[in-house]
């Protein structure tokens, strides 16, 4: 049985994973240590950085890979280093995950991100391979601003990608690249985009980004 442990990127300090990114990595390593004797377990870490305008010499995916390799040097760690947000983590990773031909993919996330993560997985993976989503922490669930932000982010996902067919990861990638401001700055106007798709508009989105810095 081949199990792939999917860890999406997150906050990094220097070249070290911190906050929820670190918790996701720890959960994946714990799973490996408990089950590797009975399964073929592969790590998969996804994420470039939090934006495309700054230059970083090491991606989130590489930071995660190095962290895992320091603890488990003989393991296989596959990386995806294009995505800069949660939707892209899935859209850009799916072809690589499919090529691994997994019997199961375990997606590690937090309770705060759980509803949006499940919705994205349902739309992009769409049953093309078996998977499950595991919540590894309930931290930050008591922060009403972050909870509200997650609702807005989930609604944005529904609106922007409503015409993309379930399972069409290429369609999701195209929409991300050419219909959102996440990847090509200046191609899509940020204010016009978030005024249209974010509950409360661009100003509310900008304020929520300040709050989001506590989440990774």
Q: Can you give the residue range of the structural domain that contains 102?
A: 2-212
Instruction: Decide: helix, strand or coil at residue 151.
Output: helix
Residue 128 has pLDDT above 90, yes or no: yes
| CATH number of residue 71's parent domain | 3.40.50.620
Question: For residues 51 and 130, which has the higher predicted lDDT (pLDDT)?
Answer: 130
The confidence score (pLDDT) of residue 49 equals 87
Residue 89 has pLDDT above 90, yes or no: yes
Q: For residue 60, how far is the Cα from the chain centroid?
A: 11
The rounded percent of the chain whose pLDDT value lies above 70 is 95
The confidence score (pLDDT) of residue 48 equals 94
For 23-55, the pLDDT digits (tens) are: 999 999 999 999 999 999 999 999 998 776 667
Structural domain count of the chain = 1
Q: How many CB atoms are closer than 10 A to CB 94?
A: 24
When the pLDDT of each residue in the chain is averaged and rounded to a whole number, the result is 94
Residue (of 55, 45, 100, 103) closest to 78 by Cα position:
45
Backbone φ, ψ for residue 15 (5° rounding): -120, 30
The tokens for 62 are 């590489």
73-93 per-residue burial string, b: 16 or more CB within 10 A, e: under 16: eebebbbbbbbbbbbbbbbbb
């Amino acid at each position: 049985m081949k199990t792939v442990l999917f860890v999406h990127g997150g906050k990094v300090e220097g070249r070290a994973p911190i906050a929820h990114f670190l918790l996701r990595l720890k959960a994946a390593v714990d799973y490996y240590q408990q089950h590797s004797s009975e399964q073929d377990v592969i790590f998969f870490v996804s994420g470039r950085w939090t934006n495309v305008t700054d230059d970083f010499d090491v991606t989130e995916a590489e930071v995660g890979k190095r962290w895992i390799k320091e603890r488990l040097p003989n393991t296989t760690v596959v990386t995806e280093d294009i995505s800069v947000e949660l939707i892209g983590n899935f859209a850009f990773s799916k072809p690589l995950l499919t090529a691994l031909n997994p019997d199961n993919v375990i997606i590690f996330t937090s309770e705060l991100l759980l509803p949006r993560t499940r919705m994205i997985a349902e739309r992009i993976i769409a049953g093309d391979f078996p998977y499950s989503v595991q919540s590894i922490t309930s931290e930050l669930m008591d922060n009403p601003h972050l909870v509200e932000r997650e609702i807005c982010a989930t609604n944005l996902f529904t609106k922007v990608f409503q015409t993309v067919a379930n399972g069409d990861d290429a369609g999701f990638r195209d929409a991300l690249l050419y219909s959102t401001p996440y990847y090509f700055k200046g191609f899509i106007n940020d204010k016009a985009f978030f005024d249209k798709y974010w509950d409360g508009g661009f100003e509310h989105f900008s304020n929520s980004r300040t709050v989001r810095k506590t989440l990774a």
